[in-house]
Amino acid sequence: MATKHEVKQYLAYWFQLGKKVMTNNGSASLLPQPVIQGDRYSEEFETTWQQIISPETGDCYLEGTQETIAELLTPGWVMSHCSRCTMPVPLRNMGMPPELCPCNDLLNWPNTELPAPRSPVNNQEQLTAIRDRLNNVSSTSR
């Protein structure tokens, strides 16, 4: 089952490439900018996420896909990686997979010359982890 965190991350990655979430039967769209602010998701992204998962918004789906976000949050779906571009994509637990990856209509993707979309990173946690690894290496080599 795809967790809320995984679906949220899936949308965040695709938002960074300019994909929108369609609402109201495709008559409206959502694309928060920026998606990441420092070590967390931006307030705009968090507000958009709450709007997407709200029952009042109705069916929402990522541009270029057919699965609704509500469907992805059911036990029938898991998150995996596109074999073409390594971006997150939903896969059914059973049955036929989705027809296309959302990267299908991005003309310049995958592009290894650009930074790939990412999740927020807490710099302090990363530096602490590096320090701890270096301390472990130096203490074992004595």
The segment with the largest mean pLDDT, out of 41-45, 99-103, 107-111, is 41-45
Count of structural domains, the chain? 1
Whether 125 and 119 have beta carbons less than 8 Å apart is answered as no
Edge-to-edge strands, sheet with 28-30 = 28-30, 21-23, 61-62
Name the token pair of 10: 């899936």
* Residue owning tokens 């300019």: 18
Question: For the segment 11-48, what is each residue's pLDDT rounded down to a tens digit?
Answer: 999 999 999 999 987 889 999 999 999 889 999 999 99
CA 125/CA 120 separation, integer angstroms: 12
Beta bridge partners of 88: 81
Q: Model-level pTM?
A: 0.74
Residue 78 carries which DSSP code?
A: E
Residue 33 has φ and ψ, to the nearest 5°, of -140, 130
Name the token pair of 93: 């637990």
Beta bridge partners of 36: 41
What's the pLDDT at 69?
Answer: 95
For residue 129, what are the domain limits? 4-140
CA 80/CA 87 separation, integer angstroms: 8
What's the pLDDT at 110?
Answer: 80
Question: For the segment 74-88, what is each residue's pLDDT rounded down to a tens digit?
Answer: 998 999 888 878 889
Name the token pair of 90: 């939903």
